[in-house]
A and B are shown apart, each in its own frame.
Chain A
């Protein structure tokens, strides 16, 4: 189940600030990776949502397109490339900047992801500097 950034219902001021914040959907079956990425993204002032596979992510995107998607490749139910191809075919599905975040490091695989519509590509392991650098490449920070 895709979950919104948690906590109690925000005050109107907090809500109006959030409207101006960029949103990033983290799609990864590893809870630890989601947690690490969430911490970095929140420090960069993103509002973060999470999904554990491509199918959950697609459900989320159909209700609300995020500004950015951090996308794992190998996941149960629906993998990252399958999700990306479907996303790009959806209404408004070309707008999110999609950054792969995966242990796949073969140039052939990277080209495949780019051909499927990825904007950037990050190889695990990563750190805050690398994620920020990739977000900068896509014009998000």
Chain B
């Protein structure tokens, strides 16, 4: 059974989330409120989620707002999620761009990287393929970033999408957990960055991954974020979106023909057929 809350509380929560993280709290996601915010209630010593929502509305402080926004965000990710985009990066996108860069070094941004698996996947791929990648992983959630920086994952997490040879090559076993080894951890930089915020100081990037993030935003927010990403992407750079997403909300990126999830900054740019 789904707990129900005062309508005014839920409407206020929705407004806060949209403003802070861009997350659109549609009715089909109301069921998330109780399980996601129960730990926040416990942390703040409150008796119920209703109380959290009440305080958020009547006497919010910055810390509570962030805790709530973090708790309501979707963090689900896996190593090499969907696999195909990573093959595309290694086989086509990175080689094409590296040839146009002095020294072949490419700057990659994983936007909305959650707990870091995507950035580490790209780092492992780069190491295996001999690519020179400078990788930045960002997320708005401090808690997710802390996990990403630590590089510590459960046995379940390292078994989803990560080939066993890469696990033993790049991770050390620590008790029941697996930790990215120092070399892998050093190959990614991390930074707290809200996609709702200012991108000053970021980029320019050759390749941006922003997968499975935009669907949680409304159309206006999607367009704004796509345009801000475009502004920090090299004119011949590329954007990877989730396999079910499109960049149609904006003209900033054009789909790369025949490459699902890949978008080019330059509408004239073509990968070799």
Contacts and interface: CB of A to CB of B under 8 A. Distances in A.
Given A123-B155, A130-B156, A106 B163 contact: no
Interface in B26-69: none
Contact of A133 (B161, B168, B172, B173): B161
B159 interface: yes
B83 A126 contact: no
Interface string A99-115: 00000011100110010
Contact of A111 (B155, B156, B160, B168): B168
A121 interface: yes
Nearest to A123: B155
Given A105-B173, A106-B173, A114 B159 contact: no
Contacts of A121: 164
A121 to B, nearest CB: 4
Contacts of A130: 156, 159-160
Interface of B: 83, 155-156, 159-161, 163-165, 167-168, 172-173
A140 to B, nearest CB: 14
A126 B164 contact: no
For chain A, what secondary structure do more than half of its interface residues adopt (helix, strand, loop), or is it mixed? helix
Contacts of A129: 160
27 contacts: A105-B155, A105-B173, A106-B173, A107-B168, A107-B172, A107-B173, A110-B164, A110-B167, A110-B168, A111-B168, A114-B164, A114-B165, A114-B168, A120-B163, A120-B164, A121-B164, A122-B159, A123-B155, A123-B159, A129-B160, A130-B156, A130-B159, A130-B160, A133-B161, A134-B164, A136-B83, A137-B164
Interface of A: 105-107, 110-111, 114, 120-123, 126-127, 129-130, 133-134, 136-137
B145 to A, nearest CB: 25
Contacts of B165: 114
A112 B1 CA distance: 49
Given A110-B167, A133-B159, 13 more contacts: A105-B155, A107-B173, A110-B168, A114-B165, A114-B168, A120-B163, A121-B164, A122-B159, A127-B156, A130-B160, A134-B159, A134-B164, A137-B163
B78 to A, nearest CB: 8
A126 B173 contact: no
Max chain B C-beta neighbours (<10 A), residue from A111, A133, A136: A133
Contacts of B173: 105-107
B60 to A, nearest CB: 38
Contacts of A126: 159
Contacts of A123: 155, 159
Query: Lowest 4 CB-CB distances: which A-B pairs, in order?
Result: A121-B164, A130-B159, A107-B168, A137-B163
B164 to A, nearest CB: 4
A136 B160 CA distance: 11
A110 B173 CA distance: 11
A105 B173 CA distance: 8
